[in-house]
Every structure is written in structure tokens, then in C-alpha cells.
Chains A and B, each alone.
Chain A
Amino acid sequence: MTVSKSDPTPDSRPAGPVLAVEGLSVSFLTDGRRATVVRDVSFEVAPGETLAIVGESGSGKSVTSLAVMGLLPPRVSRVEGRIRLMGRDLSSLSQTEMSAIRGRDMAMIFQEPMTSLNPVFTIGRQISESLVRHLGLTRSAARAETVRLLEKVRIPNAAARFDEYPHQFSGGMRQRVMIAMALASKPKLLIADEPTTALDVTIQGQILDLIKQLQEEENMSVLFITHDMGVVAEVADRTMVMYRGDVVETGTTRDVFHHGRHPYTRALLSAVPCLGEMGETTDPERFAVVDMETGERLPAAPVVGTVDRGEPPVLSVRDLVTRFDVRGGVFGRRTGAIHAVEGVSFDLHQGETLALVGESGCGKSTTGRSIMRLVEPVSGSVELDGFDVLDLGGSDLRRMRRSIQMIFQDPFASLNPRMTVGASVAEPFTTHRLGSRAEARDKAADLLERVGLSADMSSRYPHEFSGGQRQRIAIARALALDPKVIVADESVSALDVSIKAQVCNLLMDLQESLKIAFLFISHDMAVVERVSHRVAVMYLGEIVEIGPRAALFGNPQHPYTKKLIAAVPVPDPARRGIRRNLDVEELKSPVRPLGYRPPERRYRTVSPGHVVMEDTL
């Protein structure tokens, strides 16, 4: 893959901003009270410029963009201040005038490409219909224009895909369709609200490329809303940082990144892991903590001396295979199988973190679930702390679960909403009859303290906690049985950056004090580099490369590993002009026909412990 640079500044800048927002305040009416969620926000977007609004959940960044689009529900929200689009005051416009402007002068793309298209109409019809309505084209002209737009967003074989339905498109392709729809009327301003958050990292790279290319071709202004500092560094000319409804800092992206003044900006930046910053070190390293008052950065400590490679591994997986039947037809006969995990082998030592990385559908989560017997593997062997896991039944299986525990991705879904957190944390302890109720209560209180919460929170229910706190509760629950191994399945992916850093630090603290081994399943390469001792890269159900962290990141061998690493956005504004020139492609599917025999794989040892698959897939 080639990386080329182009001039980051657009060549012509006519006078006057495309979008000017002055003193914007938004408040919502909830339970009879007015809550202000955006306070006195002012900014401008020049022609051809990209302004990024960054912030964590609750910062008001999305509300700001919805206010600009005039999409806030009028009955419960109040918008104050002036919003001018190319000199025209939007607040004086009627609903009908406003909807004429939406989609013509400014267009929006959203986070969820899965839900923003109507599933019952073809892609071509959805785009051409708006062309007929807004631009008054004839049917045949609209069809030709639609195909041109689909080609413009680099959808391969556009003419043939005109008559396909949304479900026949992958997530990345759907986001391209959304962008094509947004571009249909050649808007002056494109508002992109987290457009790549739901996408896989290689697909994210392609979409970012596309937005940058289109912006140059059309000389369009972009208002880019995101929480990801890496993405900001890559796309934005200027950056505005929001925190709890206030703008705390605005400036050129370079200035914000290198000379950020506000403590929050610094905290946000130090919480963002930067791929490659770990260099040659072998141990995981905690995230630097920034004092929110002073903005001072406290040094980060590495996690040392937790692994003893002389001991036999605590978890040993050999040739693990898990497949799910695909059934079709009237009688539900087997028509094929999803080869979710195919011949996976690895060892995990006490006190060690092995990261399983890969994109959606690569089988990393299924690997974790198979090891815990939450799904039934087809073949292979799993040896955990003396248990032959795949051979266990009934009560032995339940006893085995004391040695391995799991932390899930979504802290809003992984706790029983109708159980107090104290009961939830104590439950593993009582289930395995490890002590009396009083002891269980003490244990729960102890664990809550341990994960940074207070013991008197145990009588509350999960909905009273924030996402980060809930994830701490989930960690406390996983610790209740003093497990040897914890499978952390995307456990920090759903959290805000600063919370993500804190939870990662907590996991590393626990590893140091309790010598826990983590199987850290993640798609986030930068976080993985920070927390792991060793890394395994998965693709279509197989491990294509495994090795010590420094070796794998410093000297990646497999083409897929290289592609994955290159696709990660790095929070460095110098990369603003970067073009990855990735091929437009989709992730392949692990669905195979009946009777498919997976090929024999050959592996090559690069350096001690660093093994790579010879086949390129």
C-alpha cells in the first residue's frame, strides 16, 4: 500500500464563511425542567475547510450539529443564537424553507449506515427519487446521475448494483451510499456525525480517504463530529474541543494537538493511545493521567514482572475449530457453515495479556466464547488451569468457570437491570457456595472498592451508573471468583476515551496485584499495543500472525497485519494530507459451502515466539 501526501490547504477560499454559528445555546425540557446541553457556542466553517468538533459523550457535539441542521425536536428543545449558512439566517426560516435547504445546501451523514437506509427500496431508487424530487430530473436522467454518484463514491460495479437492496451492501458500502445521497445535490456543507465509528478500521480508512477526496473535488466544507482524536488529526484543518456543553478550545488542528492549553484538551490527548509510541518496550504501560485542574501530566508506570515464562501456561489452546451451521430452504437443511474459528492455537501464561485483534467477523469473539464453552467448539483442545475444558460436563463445567471469567463489551447490556449491583457482584460467590451471605456481602463491598467504586453503592441498580462505572462493576463481578484468566471481549471499546484509559489502567493494576492473565479481544490496535504482552492477529477465523507485541508492531510480516496497522488513524496532525490509497474492498465472508475442507497452513518463525502464516489468504 502506498501513502501519498497532497497539499492539505484548499487552493481557493472566497470571502465569507459557509457556516457561521454565533452564541448557540440549546436546552431541552425534561421532566418539566430545562437542561442546557450546549452553552454559547460560536464557530465558523470556511469554504473547502474541515472543522472537527471533538468531545466525549454528553459534550453536546451531536446536539450542535443537529441544531445546525434544524433537526432538533421543536417541542422539547429551545435553540438560541444565530446560525447562518452562506450569509442566510436559518433561525428566521419556516419549516418548509428549512427542509428545502436541508439536502440541497447542507447534507448530513450519520453513524449508523445500517439503519439510515430504507430496507424495502433499492439503493438506486432511494437516490434517484430524491434527484427527481429536488432537482426535477427525468427518471432516466436521474438513473444516469445516480450511477455517476455511486461511481463517485467508488462503489465497484455501480451500474449493476443500482437495483440492489441495502441488505446486499456491507456496512462500509452502505456508508458510501449514504455519502452518495448526501452529495446528490452538491451541498456546500457536509455534516458528518461520527461517520466511521461503526466501521472496521480498514473500512474506516477507506471512508476517510473518500471524504477527503470528495471534498477536494467538490470544494465542499465539512463539519466533522467525532470522539476519535486519530480521525481528527487526519481530516481536520481546524478543531474545536467541547466538554459538557462548552467549547473549551478552538484552533488549528496542529495548535490544539501540540499547544493545547485547556486541561481537558490535554487529558483527552494523553488518554489517546498512539500506535507506535511503545517502541521496543516489552511490558504493557499504563495511560498517563492528567490532572483535570492543572492540566499536569503524571508519568505512566509500566506493568512489570507479572509473567513467568518458566511456568507451564495457564491456558493452552490447540487447533480450536468452531463452526455454525447455515440453514436454508423450506425444511431448514444445512446449506453451509460459518467457519468462525479454524485451527486456532495459542498459549497464555499467568500474569500475561494476549491480545486477539482483527475486524468484525474474524472470529476473535467466538474464540473467547469457545474457550469458555459459551459456544460449543467442533474440535480442538483447551487446557485451562488443569481442566480439559472441552471434555467437561455439568458440574465440572461449572467448577471450571471459577478459573476463567469474562468481561463483556456493552456495560449497558452485561448487567441484569433488575438486580442491585451488590447482588450482581456477590452472585458468582454465592452461586459457587464459597461462603455465607455475610461473607458474600463483604466480598462484594471489597471488590467494589477495589475497582474504584465505593461499597455503599452496592444497593443501587445498574441504570444509576455511567458506562465507565458499569464496566467497573462488571470487572468486580468477574473478579469475585478469583479467576486465573479473564476474557475481556471488547471490554473498553464502548467507553469514552478518557474512561477507556482509566479502565485499561484498572485492568493493568489488577494484573500487577493479582497476576491475572487476560485474553484481551479488541479491534483497537492502539489500545492493544498499550496493554498487551503478546498479540495475535486473526483474519477469517485463523491466526495469521502471533508474537511479542514489540516484534509484531515493529516488524509485521503478514500482509493483513501490515494493512491493519497502516489503517489505524494516528493522532498526529502532520498526517492531515495522508492518502492511504487503499483498494475499495470488503471484508470477506467466512461462510463456506458444505463439505469445505480448510487448507493446510504453513507457518514460519520470524523470531522467537513470532510466528506468521505463509499463505496470504
Chain B
Amino acid sequence: MTTLDASRGTAKRPSSRAWRKLAANKAALVGLGIVATFAILALLAPLLPIADPIQTSWTAIRKPPTWAHPIGTDELGRDILARMIWGARASLSAGLFSVMLAVSIGVPLGIVSGYLGGWLDIVVSRITEAFLAMPFLITAIALAAFLGPSLINSMIAIALSALPIFIRLTRGQVLAVKAEEYVEGARAIGLGPVAIMARYVFPNVLPPILVQATLTIATAIIAEASLSFLGLGQQPPAASWGSMLNVAKNFLTQAPWMAVWPGGAIFLVVVGFNLLGDGLRDALDPRAA
């Protein structure tokens, strides 16, 4: 089918309108800017002229900003700027990968369960509801403790905790799309259920899922920071914003900069993703002018 789409390049996709609306939304652009800045810094971390994030120095313990260390050093004399940038890698990838994992399992499960219905739907829905009854972070902590402390395991724990949200959201959207005439039309021309789910249901349930995914990245970043803060996420000496805060809490009065920078970064990124998510929601909502 895509060959027909691509054969002539002039087509105005429904999504191009959404992009224009997003570009006109200042708050969303600010969010996009924040997210993009952190993402670029995190990606370029190995290339940037910054100190080694795990290089300790006994002569520069808990030093306030200097020329050598622009935003100070931590309790082992490591450069906080370098650790912030490498920590962004951990935080952003934790947010991104855990949500991608949750989406790639949750969305197909939600589509199949919502479209086919029957006993499969009942089983999936009841399990989802049981998971939703537990607080997100508690589930994540329990899973991370069970899987053992590491960044990868904390990502898996966060993904599993976020999974029910996506199953639930997708299933609800599918139930609405399933009632549309074009789905019945697809059955009428003789398409099988798999093709209908892939070509008719999936593209039409995607927009609200994109919005939810963006917002969940913010939640996941906080969750990763929390897990790292509790020692269940990123393990020393590697840096993550949560584990930096964990150590910083012991020196709040002597070296406040140790807490201010990672705390501020978490705040900024979360705000960025939330602004972007809200902007996407407005841009993808066909009712909004």
C-alpha cells in the first residue's frame, strides 16, 4: 500500500496539519527545545570536552564552582558537570527505553484485546486493572528490588509498571475506532483481522498513545531517579541524576550545589516532556481549531 503513498510526493498527510499546529504552540516549542538540548548533550557526552565523570580527586572534594569544575565537584572530587551530562544519558535513556518497551508490548496487546474481545479481553483487562490498583512507583520499586539493582533492571521495572496504562488506553481507543464505519468497510471488502488491526485500527489509535507516551517519559524519568535515589537503579560509580541526589542529600548544608544541579535537571526535563505532551495533545486533537 505504501507504494501508492510514496509514488506522488504532494500528498498532505493528516499529520502535516498537526505539525503546523505544534509549531504554532510556544509552550510546546519550549518543551521541545528543552528536551532536544538535553538529548543532544546526552548523545554527544563522549565527544564533549568535559572531565571524566568517574575520575575521583582527593584534592577537590565538594568544591564550589571553579574554572576547572564549572559547577563544582562532589564528595569524591568528581566533576559534577561531567556527571550531569553522563547522568542525562542514564535518565533520558531510562525514560525513553522503558516507555518504548511499555508501548511495544502494551499497544499490540491493547489492540488485540480490544479488537478481538472475548475471553482474551476479559483476562487482559482484569490483570490490567489489578496492576492499575497498585501505585506506579510502588510497583516499580517492588519489581526493581525483585530483579536486582541495575540500570537495565530499573528500566524493565518501570516499563512493566507503565504497561497497564498503555494497554488500558489503547484498548479504550480501539473500542471507539472499532465502531467506525471504515472498519466495518474493511471487513466488507474481505480484509482479515490482522490486516484490519495493522492498517485500520493501529494508525487511528496512535495519536492519543503518542501523547500518553510523551507524558509517561516524564514519569519514567522521575521513577528512574527515585529508583537510583533508593539505590535500585544506576550503580556507582556510573552517574545518574537520581543517584547523584542520593549522595547529595547527606551534604545539603555543606555542598548544596551537589543537589541543586541534578534536582534542577530532573525538574527541567520533566517540565519539557510535559509541555511537549500537552502541545501534542492539542495538535492532534481534531476538535481544537
A interface residue numbers (CB < 8 A to B): 30, 369, 372, 374, 397-399, 401-402, 405-406, 408-410, 413-420, 422-423, 426-428, 430-432, 437, 440-441, 444, 456, 458-461, 463-464, 474, 477, 480-481
Q: Are A463 and B14 in contact (CB under 8 A)?
A: yes
Q: Are A441 and B11 in contact (CB under 8 A)?
A: no
With contacts A413-B180, A419-B199 known, is A426 near B188, CB below 8 A?
A: no
Q: Are A416 and B182 in contact (CB under 8 A)?
A: yes
With contacts A417-B14, A420-B11, A441-B4 known, is A401 near B184, CB below 8 A?
A: no
Chain B, residues 176-188, CB within 8 Å of chain A (1/0): the string is 0000111011111
Write 18 A-B pairs (CB below 8 A) sorted by A numbering. A398-B192, A405-B189, A413-B182, A415-B182, A416-B199, A417-B204, A418-B14, A420-B11, A423-B5, A427-B189, A428-B189, A437-B3, A440-B4, A441-B4, A461-B11, A461-B12, A463-B14, A474-B185
- In whole Å, how far is B115's beta carbon from the nearest beta carbon of chain A? 15
Q: Specify which of B1, B11, B186 is in contact with A460 (CB 8 Å cutoff).
A: B11
Residues of B within 8 A of A416 (CB): 182, 186, 199-200, 203-204
Residues of B within 8 A of A437 (CB): 3-4
With contacts A414-B182, A419-B199 known, is A401 near B4, CB below 8 A?
A: no
Q: Which residue of B lies closest to A411 (CB)?
A: B181
Q: Are A427 and B1 in contact (CB under 8 A)?
A: yes
Q: Specify which of A409, A430, A441 is in contact with B7 (CB 8 Å cutoff).
A: A441
With contacts A414-B182, A416-B204, A419-B1 known, is A459 near B10, CB below 8 A?
A: yes
A2 to B188, CA, bound (A): 45
With contacts A414-B185, A419-B199, A463-B14 known, is A30 near B190, CB below 8 A?
A: no
Interface SS majority for chain B: helix
Contacts A423-B5, A437-B3, A441-B7 known; 13 new A-B pairs at CB < 8 A: A398-B190, A399-B190, A406-B188, A413-B180, A416-B199, A416-B203, A418-B204, A419-B203, A420-B5, A427-B189, A427-B191, A459-B7, A460-B12
- In whole Å, how far is B45's beta carbon from the nearest beta carbon of chain A? 38
Residues of A within 8 A of B13 (CB): 418, 461
- In whole Å, how far is B182's beta carbon from the nearest beta carbon of chain A? 5
A542 to B234, CA, bound (A): 70
Q: Are A430 and B180 in contact (CB under 8 A)?
A: no
Q: Specify which of A408, A417, A420 is in contact with B185 (CB 8 Å cutoff).
A: A408
Interface status of B289 (Cβ within 8 A of chain A): yes
* In the A-B complex, the 9 residue pairs with the closest CB atoms: A401-B190, A459-B8, A428-B189, A398-B190, A418-B203, A414-B181, A413-B181, A406-B188, A408-B181
Q: Are A406 and B8 in contact (CB under 8 A)?
A: no
Residues of A within 8 A of B189 (CB): 401, 405, 427-428, 431, 477, 480-481
A30 to B289, CA, bound (A): 8
Residues of B within 8 A of A419 (CB): 1, 199, 203
Residues of B within 8 A of A428 (CB): 189-190
Residues of B within 8 A of A409 (CB): 181
A374 to B189, CA, bound (A): 11
Most buried by A among B4, B182, B186: B4
Residues of A within 8 A of B204 (CB): 416-418
B interface residue numbers (CB < 8 A to A): 1, 3-5, 7-8, 10-14, 180-182, 184-192, 195, 199-200, 203-204, 289
Q: Specify which of A417, A444, A459 is in contact with B11 (CB 8 Å cutoff).
A: A459
Q: Which residue of A lies closest to B20 (CB)?
A: A31
Residues of B within 8 A of A418 (CB): 13-14, 203-204
Q: Which residue of A lies closest to B15 (CB)?
A: A418
A369 to B184, CA, bound (A): 10
Q: Which residue of B lies closest to A406 (CB)?
A: B188
A210 to B194, CA, bound (A): 52
- In whole Å, how far is A468's beta carbon from the nearest beta carbon of chain B? 17
Most buried by A among B12, B181, B192, B199: B181
A68 to B192, CA, bound (A): 52
Q: Are B1 and A423 in contact (CB under 8 A)?
A: yes
- In whole Å, how far is A523's beta carbon from the nearest beta carbon of chain B? 17
Residues of A within 8 A of B14 (CB): 417-418, 461, 463
Residues of A within 8 A of B192 (CB): 398
A458 to B11, CA, bound (A): 9
Residues of A within 8 A of B180 (CB): 413
Residues of A within 8 A of B8 (CB): 456, 458-459
- In whole Å, how far is B173's beta carbon from the nearest beta carbon of chain A? 14
A441 to B5, CA, bound (A): 11
Q: Specify which of B4, B10, B289 is in contact with A423 (CB 8 Å cutoff).
A: B4
Residues of B within 8 A of A456 (CB): 8
A30 to B204, CA, bound (A): 26
A428 to B7, CA, bound (A): 19
A523 to B7, CA, bound (A): 42
Q: Are B181 and A458 in contact (CB under 8 A)?
A: no
A414 to B179, CA, bound (A): 11
A458 to B3, CA, bound (A): 12
With contacts A423-B5, A459-B4 known, is A401 near B181, CB below 8 A?
A: no
Residues of A within 8 A of B200 (CB): 416
Q: Are A405 and B188 in contact (CB under 8 A)?
A: yes
- In whole Å, how far is A191's beta carbon from the nearest beta carbon of chain B? 25
Q: Which residue of B lies closest to A489 (CB)?
A: B181
A416 to B189, CA, bound (A): 13
A416 to B195, CA, bound (A): 13
Q: Which residue of B lies closest to A438 (CB)?
A: B3
Q: Specify which of A401, A430, A461 is in contact with B188 (CB 8 Å cutoff).
A: A401
A444 to B7, CA, bound (A): 14
Q: Are A426 and B181 in contact (CB under 8 A)?
A: no
A611 to B249, CA, bound (A): 89
A439 to B7, CA, bound (A): 14
- In whole Å, how far is B288's beta carbon from the nearest beta carbon of chain A? 13
Residues of B within 8 A of A410 (CB): 181
- In whole Å, how far is A426's beta carbon from the nearest beta carbon of chain B? 6
Residues of A within 8 A of B191 (CB): 427, 431
- In whole Å, how far is B22's beta carbon from the nearest beta carbon of chain A? 15
Residues of B within 8 A of A422 (CB): 4
Q: Which residue of B lies closest to A441 (CB)?
A: B4
A138 to B275, CA, bound (A): 51
- In whole Å, how far is A439's beta carbon from the nearest beta carbon of chain B? 12
Q: Are A432 and B190 in contact (CB under 8 A)?
A: yes
- In whole Å, how far is B21's beta carbon from the nearest beta carbon of chain A? 10
Residues of B within 8 A of A481 (CB): 189
A444 to B5, CA, bound (A): 13
Most buried by B among A369, A418, A426: A418
With contacts A409-B181, A413-B180, A414-B182 known, is A420 near B188, CB below 8 A?
A: no
Q: Which residue of A lies closest to B17 (CB)?
A: A463
Q: Are A406 and B185 in contact (CB under 8 A)?
A: yes
Q: Which residue of A lies closest to B183 (CB)?
A: A416
